[in-house]
């Protein structure tokens, strides 16, 4: 048998990209709500354009998203129909603590997720919960400057304490921060950072990274105290950097870029700052404010497993040829001439998936969990309304085969696999609905028009068969 018994097949979503209902159930405003669709989006996500409230003339897709807040029973039933063993979702922080700095949690928010988890359990689906998937209450940004402020560690501790206490026995698998390395790329989205004119951006980002890393270790500690059965994972936006050529300068460049990403998991999995990171901070004169207590907490509370998203590999060149600039999950690099690309320019590299899996397993020797993988594509309906998304099936088949090879031939220990966006949802990078990942189609367009009706695509039955045969039948 290729995949181990009990392998957790499923799908993954994030609160801000599917829930909507941004002002219901006592929820407070969050950074993710005020990221508009359209031209200003990138500058806002990067912390370069300050937008801490809704402004006239913009469309904010997260306000309504796919309204999963009101559709979750229907949606979970569809996941169950595909045979999901697990469903990865995230908590909207500001549903639990609307401002972020309250001492008591909002009961309505806690009850909402409790119902949702019970609904999963009813269908035999194990919830896999991301504590924060890019969201940070707006009040914590206005009042404290987001994750640059150490006080956020305490607010996050309050959040996880409330969650672990309430969902003890209901949720076993937790991820502390979605794609924690996103801080260095889209810092408003990753850590609620907005930069002032002339500020040392890199210093602020590393300060925020340190605070999130310490908060992540605290979460691990608190989880073990509240419920030793809980398993805590870190979450990396993964994808190995290849050198553009075998020139040592390109190889070295790829190594440095890989270290920039590994840095986070090195701390979360090994419990201390790696030597190359200490040297980097020293050279740049950045003081992250490490205390003796931080050091102890980091060392004693390393993660149980390593989770990651994988969409493509990346390519690094010491002197990038200008015309070869590539795109791909916000990690800019050089285009790889050997790889085909998605409609959004993301390289497609199933063998790179196996390479990335091996790189992570070699480095950490801990079980891996693939918590995002998928193809964002435009879907065209047939005259009868059905959607034949063979391109999506092909992408997933090739990646599942690569993962299977990593397990059977390379001996990698793997807990599960959740595809990104089992149901169409708002794209994180573009704010579009038309960048679809789902097995389930949602009738909604980029401007927010549509009935929100759900329907099954061709890939729905395909994935159902994959799960039913535990990955044996990928045809
Ligand atoms: C990851 C994020 C997700 C998700 C995915 C696909 O970086 O964790 O939130 O959206 O990428 O990206 P996009 O939505 O931009 O296509």
User: What is the Å distance from ligand 1's center to 189 Cα?
Assistant: 12
Q: At what angle do helices 151-167 and 107-122 cross, to 10 degrees?
A: 50
Q: At what angle do helices 201-226 and 275-284 cross, to 10 degrees?
A: 140
When pLDDT is averaged across residues 253-260 and rounded to a whole number, the result is 97
Asked if residue 46 belongs to a domain, the reply is yes
pLDDT in tens, 401-415: 999 999 999 999 999
Q: Which of 179, 205, 212, 432 is catalytic?
A: 179
**pLDDT at residue 324 in the model:** 64
The strand pairing partners of 233, in sequence order, are 175, 305
Q: Which residue, 307, 340, 302, 339, is CA-closest to 223?
A: 302
Q: Which residue, 140, 150, 144, is CA-closest to 291?
A: 150
Asked if residue 2 belongs to a domain, the reply is no
Task: Look at residue 1 and tell me whether its pLDDT is greater than 90.
Answer: no
Cα(85)–Cα(121) distance, integer angstroms? 10
Q: Which residue, 85, 83, 101, 82, is CA-closest to 93?
A: 101
**pLDDT at residue 332 in the model:** 73
**pLDDT at residue 325 in the model:** 63
Would the CB of 309 count as within 6 Å of ligand 1?
yes
Supply the range of the domain harboring residue 58. Answer: 8-468
Give the containing element (helix H, strand E) for 95. helix 93-96
Is 179 an annotated catalytic residue? yes
Asked if residue 474 belongs to a domain, the reply is no
Cα(405)–Cα(402) distance, integer angstroms? 5
When pLDDT is averaged across residues 10-23 and rounded to a whole number, the result is 98
Is 81 an annotated catalytic residue? no
User: What is the Å distance from ligand 1's center to 427 Cα?
Assistant: 6
Tokens of 395: 């992408």
**pLDDT at residue 123 in the model:** 98
Cα(12)–Cα(86) distance, integer angstroms? 9
When pLDDT is averaged across residues 242-252 and rounded to a whole number, the result is 97
pLDDT in tens, 334-352: 999 999 999 999 999 999 9
Would the CB of 179 count as within 6 Å of ligand 1?
yes
When pLDDT is averaged across residues 39-45 and rounded to a whole number, the result is 96
Query: What separation in angstroms does the CA of 393 have from each of 9, 14, 141, 441?
Result: 15, 22, 41, 14
Name the residue at shortest CA distance from atom 5 of ligand 1: 428
> DSSP E strands: which ranges in 317-464?
325-326, 333-334, 340-341, 347-348, 368-372, 414-420, 440-442, 454-456
Asked if residue 82 belongs to a domain, the reply is yes
Backbone angles phi, psi at 413, to 5 degrees: -90, 120
Nearest atom in ligand 1 to 344's CA: 16
pLDDT-based confidence at 327, cuts 50/70/90?
A: low
Backbone angles phi, psi at 442, to 5 degrees: -120, 125
Asked if residue 41 belongs to a domain, the reply is yes
Tell me the average pLDDT of the chain: 97
Would the CB of 435 count as within 6 Å of ligand 1?
yes
- The mean-pLDDT minimum among 48-57, 194-203, 309-318, 326-335 falls in 326-335
Would the CB of 130 count as within 6 Å of ligand 1?
no
Task: Look at residue 329 and tell me whether its pLDDT is greater than 80.
Answer: no
When pLDDT is averaged across residues 422-431 and rounded to a whole number, the result is 98
The total number of structural domains that make up the chain? 1
Give the containing element (helix H, strand E) for 363. helix 350-364
**pLDDT at residue 189 in the model:** 97
Would the CB of 14 count as within 6 Å of ligand 1?
yes
CATH number for the domain spanning 429: value is 3.20.20.80
pTM above 0.85, yes or no: yes
Calculate what percentage of the chain has a pLDDT beyond 70.
98
Cα(247)–Cα(269) distance, integer angstroms? 31
Tokens of 195: 């930069």
pLDDT-based confidence at 180, cuts 50/70/90?
A: very high
Asked if residue 475 belongs to a domain, the reply is no
Tokens of 343: 């409609």
Max intra-chain CA distance, the chain: 65
């Amino acid at each position: 048998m290729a995949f181990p018994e009990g392998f957790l097949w499923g799908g993954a979503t994030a609160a801000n990209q599917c829930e909507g209902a941004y002002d219901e159930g006592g929820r407070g405003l969050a950074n993710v709500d005020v990221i508009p669709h359209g031209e200003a989006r990138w500058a806002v996500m990067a912390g370069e354009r300050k937008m801490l409230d809704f402004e006239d003339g913009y469309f904010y897709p997260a306000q309504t998203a796919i309204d999963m807040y009101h559709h979750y029973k229907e949606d979970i039933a569809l996941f169950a129909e595909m045979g999901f063993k697990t469903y990865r979702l995230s908590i909207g922080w500001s549903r639990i603590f609307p401002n972020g700095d309250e001492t008591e949690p909002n009961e309505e928010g806690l009850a909402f997720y409790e119902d949702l988890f019970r609904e999963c359990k009813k269908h035999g689906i194990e919830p896999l919960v991301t504590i924060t998937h890019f969201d940070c209450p707006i009040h914590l940004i206005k009042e404290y400057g987001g994750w640059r402020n150490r006080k956020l560690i305490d607010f996050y501790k309050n959040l996880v304490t409330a969650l672990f206490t309430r969902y003890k026995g209901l949720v076993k698998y937790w991820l502390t921060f979605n794609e924690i390395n996103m801080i260095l790329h889209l810092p408003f989205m990753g850590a609620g950072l907005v930069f002032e004119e002339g500020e040392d951006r890199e210093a602020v980002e590393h300060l925020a990274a340190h605070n999130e890393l310490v908060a992540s270790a605290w979460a691990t500690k608190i989880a073990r105290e509240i419920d030793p059965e809980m398993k805590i994972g870190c979450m990396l936006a993964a994808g190995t950097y290849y050198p553009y050529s075998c020139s040592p300068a390109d190889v070295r460049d790829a190594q440095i870029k890989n270290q920039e990403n590994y840095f986070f998991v090195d701390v979360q999995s090994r419990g201390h700052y790696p030597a190359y990171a200490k040297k980097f901070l020293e050279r740049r004169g950045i003081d992250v404010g490490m205390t003796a207590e931080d050091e102890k907490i980091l060392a004693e509370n390393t993660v149980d497993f390593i989770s990651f998203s994988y969409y493509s590999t990346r390519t690094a060149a010491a002197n990038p040829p200008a015309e070869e600039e590539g795109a791909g999950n916000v990690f800019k690099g050089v285009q790889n001439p050997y790889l085909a690309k998605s409609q959004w320019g993301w390289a497609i590299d199933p063998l790179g998936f196996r390479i990335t899996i091996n790189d992570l397993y070699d480095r950490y020797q801990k079980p891996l969990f693939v918590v995002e993988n998928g193809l964002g594509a435009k879907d065209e309906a047939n005259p009868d309304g059905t959607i034949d998304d063979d391109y999506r099936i092909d992408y997933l088949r090739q990646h599942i085969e690569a993962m299977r090879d990593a397990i059977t031939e390379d001996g990698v220990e793997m807990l599960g696999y959740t595809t990104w966006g089992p149901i169409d949802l708002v794209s994180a990078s573009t704010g579009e609905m038309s960048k679809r990942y789902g097995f389930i189609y949602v009738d909604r367009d980029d401007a927010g028009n549509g009935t929100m009706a759900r329907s099954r695509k061709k890939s729905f039955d395909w994935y159902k068969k994959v799960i039913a045969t535990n990955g044996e039948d990928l045809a």
